[in-house]
Amino acid sequence: MTAITIDGPSGAGKSTIAKKLANRLGYEYLDTGAMYRYITLYLINNKIDLTNKDLVCKLIQKNGTLKDEFKLLDSETNMDIRSKQVTRNVSLVSSYDCVRTFLVELQREISDNTDIVLDGRDIGSVVLPNAEFKFYLTASEQERARRRHLQYKDSSSDTYEEILKDIIRRDAYDMNREISPLVIPKNATIIDSTDLTIKETIDKMLGCILGENNAI
């Protein structure tokens, strides 16, 4: 079985690229960022104080069915996890060791018996450090803000400046958190997509995976 990991900062296009790459290769795809968003939404819906780490951990450890609930995610729930409230709190929730331990175990379990592409912030460094192919996908802060503003312009009133400010805040938080900070994984190929199209980015990855002359 082959695992391909894609790490990188917020707004770098990891999920979009990972989905399309998995489709090109005929692999499964796991959006680990969505898993952290779902946990955050679950806590918000249960009116949990997100700053109370002990309470958050207690709730997650007590819920024996939470793993099964990931299998029931639908398009409506998927829209909910992209809400502004979830986006602004997911970095805090994902910094808790109990949350990361819970999800890392689940991510490894899912990846165990299939060819898969995973994206996130600690996939190649923590979740699957021995993955066959590891990528670090990035882009300038300004380009990431531009893409996100374009993506959500019909569903959010946030300005480009507000989104840029939030991306800078999230970068600092993710890179400096104590548990599993965002880093460039060992032996990862760095791809800066600031001036690349989605197709060009995927072609670069396929060139690394299959060889320049065998990219599909």
**Residue range(s) defining the domain that contains residue 96:** 3-210
DSSP of the chain, one letter per residue? Answer: --EEEEE--TTS-HHHHHHHHHHHHT-EEEEHHHHHHHHHHHHHHTT--TT-HHHHHHHHHH-TTHHHHGGG--HHHHHHTTSHHHHHHHHHHHTSHHHHHHHHHHHHHHHTTS-EEEEESSIIIII-TT-SEEEEEE--HHHHHHHHHHHHTTT----HHHHHHHHHHHHHHHHH-SSS-----TTPEEEE-TT--HHHHHHHHHHHHH-TTT--
Residue 97 has a pLDDT of 92
Check residue 140 and give its pLDDT: 97
Within-domain flag for 103: yes
Q: Is 106 within the bounds of a domain?
A: yes
Is the separation of the CB atoms in 31 and 144 below 8 Å? Answer: no
Confidence class for position 17, pLDDT limits 50, 70, 90 = very high
CATH number of residue 177's parent domain: 3.40.50.300
Residue 216 inside a domain? The answer is no
The answer to whether residue 29 sits within a structural domain is yes
* pLDDT tens column, 47-104: 999 999 999 999 888 776 677 766 555 545 577 888 889 988 998 999 899 999 999 9
pTM: 0.85
CB 101 within 8 A of CB 56: no
pLDDT bucket at 216, cuts 50 / 70 / 90: low
193 located within any domain: yes
Q: How many Å apart are CA 53 and CA 2, to the nearest integer?
A: 35
The pLDDT tens digits of the residues spanning 118-130 come to: 999 999 999 999 9
User: Per residue in 151-194, pLDDT tens?
Assistant: 887 777 889 999 999 999 999 999 998 888 999 999 999 999 99
pLDDT (tens digit per residue) in 192-207: 999 999 999 999 999 9
The answer as to whether 157 is a domain residue is yes
Quick one: tokens of 174?
């993710």
In a domain, 215, yes or no: no
Count up the domains in the chain and report the number: 1
Q: What is the pLDDT of residue 87?
A: 87
Give dist(CA 30, CA 26) in Å, integer: 13
Q: Is residue 67 part of a domain?
A: yes
